Amino acid sequence: MKVLILAGGFATRLRPLSCTRPKILFPMVNKPLLQWTLERLARNGFKEAILAVNHQTEILIEQSRIPKHGMKITYSRDPFKKPLGTGGPVKKAERLIGHDEPFLVLNGDIFADVDYTDILKIHEEKDAVATIALHRVEDPSRYGVAELTKENRITRFIEKPPKEAAPTNRINAGVYALNPEIFNYIPEKRKVSMEREVFPKLVEEGKLYGYVSEGLWMDIGESEDYLEANEALLDLYVNQQKRKVTGKEQVKNPVALDKGVSVGEESVIGPYAILGRNASVGSHVHIRNSILFPGTVISDFSQIRGAIIGEDAFIGKGVKIREGCVLGDGVRINDNVSLAKGVSVCPAKEVSESVLTSKCIIK
Ligand code: GTP
């Protein structure tokens, strides 16, 4: 059984952190999202995954050296500087996937515990061309929404409807079972939206089905989603054990401290703090509801609340960073600077004065 993972998007909504890494390599509680996905596939008996990527993403995935859990990884590349969208990469991988049996497509940017065996079973029973895993959410307006018959045939598929106009709260969970027949529905060599072009055509022909999935589902499309998804995973997966670092720091669970993390005296870490590999925290620091990527340095007397701090960033002494702040890789925040809520800072920028309103610092 083949599985194609879509991983070549530009993740524009996750800037500035996605300026330097693809979404599929964003750490989820200190482990890249792709690693979680490969583990899940391997557990379910998959032996090979095809990654639909762009040139840059392929290089970064290879450099990341994440464990492959015995899976063979094959790359299917979008043409240089010509992104193919969410449908084009499926057509592009036609030869790699073959025409022998149904296959799975996963959006690489979601964390979804979908029962792969079950969705394939339903897909074959219904003799569908495509079966979409559907997940229930509070606010469907940011997603593709499906309306279903009792037999689970999708009668309408509406991409990002206004909240009042959404016919149901069942949304496209980004996991599809597809028949090789799907290749006839996707034009070649151009950008194609699966959601806006291919699915509506299948609805018209009565060949699109839904599979209601009740498992854990998290999208990391925007930085708020990303933070929330990490907090939910912390609650679920991390042993809430008290970890000694120096002895005089205070750890408020749940927290996740990766290898090589150091924390100074009288600092309070957590609740909901995720510190990446070799993050170094000074004394009298407070960090809560935040993610620190690997190699981050937080100097004495700083406070970080509800923020995401990119790899190798340096935070000076007495700095205050508020909710919704997102700092790119290699950012430097000098001593005593305060960042208001919602400030984002592009990679490698230096900030020497406080920023009092929500904005993006690009120079
Ligand atoms: P935004 O720019 O923030 O919307 O992000 P995105 O384009 O990466 O995400 P979107 O939700 O549109 O994409 C869903 C999935 O398809 C993600 O796993 C993307 O990596 C993938 N994807 C999107 N566009 C392309 C593309 O042009 N080529 C390939 N190979 N994958 C894509």
For residue 237, pLDDT beyond 80: no
Helix H segments across 127-270? 199-204, 223-237
Closest residue by Cα to residue 160 from 139, 138, 176, 177: 139
CA 345 – CA 307 distance, rounded (Å):
12
CA 30 – CA 257 distance, rounded (Å):
8
pLDDT of 287-305, one tens digit each?
A: 999 999 999 999 999 999 9
CA 316 – CA 297 distance, rounded (Å):
8
Q: Residues in the chain, how many?
A: 363
pLDDT of 332-355, one tens digit each?
A: 999 999 999 999 999 999 999 999
For residue 267, pLDDT beyond 60: yes
Average pLDDT, the chain: 92
CA 308 – CA 321 distance, rounded (Å):
10
Q: Is the CB of 86 inside a 6 Å radius of any atom of ligand 1?
A: yes
Contact 322, 307 (CB under 8 A): yes
Q: What is this structure's pTM?
A: 0.92
Of ligand 1's listed atoms, the one at least distance from the Cα of 5 is 18
Reported as half-sphere exposure (CB side, CA atoms, 13 A), residue 332 has a value of: 7
pLDDT of 68-87, one tens digit each?
A: 888 999 999 999 888 999 99
Query: How remote is the C-alpha of 139 from its chain's centroid?
Result: 18
Which whole number is the average pLDDT over 181-185? Answer: 96
Q: Is the CB of 83 inside a 6 Å radius of any atom of ligand 1?
A: yes
Of ligand 1's listed atoms, the one at least distance from the Cα of 222 is 3
For residue 233, pLDDT beyond 90: yes
d(CA 10, ligand 1 centre) in Å: 6
For residue 155, pLDDT beyond 90: yes
In the structure encoding, which two tokens stand for residue 33, read together?
A: 């999202």
Q: Is the CB of 108 inside a 6 Å radius of any atom of ligand 1?
A: yes
Catalytic residue numbers? 160
Which pLDDT does position 243 carry in this prediction?
A: 55
Q: Residue 149 CB: number of other CB atoms within 10 A?
A: 11
Confidence of residue 257 (pLDDT cuts 50, 70, 90): very high
Q: In testing the pocket of ligand 1, which one of 24, 56, 109 has its CB within 8 Å of the most ligand atoms?
A: 109
Q: Which residues contact 184 (CB under 8 A, 6 or more apart)?
A: none
d(CA 24, ligand 1 centre) in Å: 10
Share of the chain above pLDDT 70, in %: 97
For the ranges 212-221, 232-241, 261-270, which has the lowest average pLDDT?
A: 232-241
Which pLDDT does position 244 carry in this prediction?
A: 53
Q: Residue 56 CB: number of other CB atoms within 10 A?
A: 12
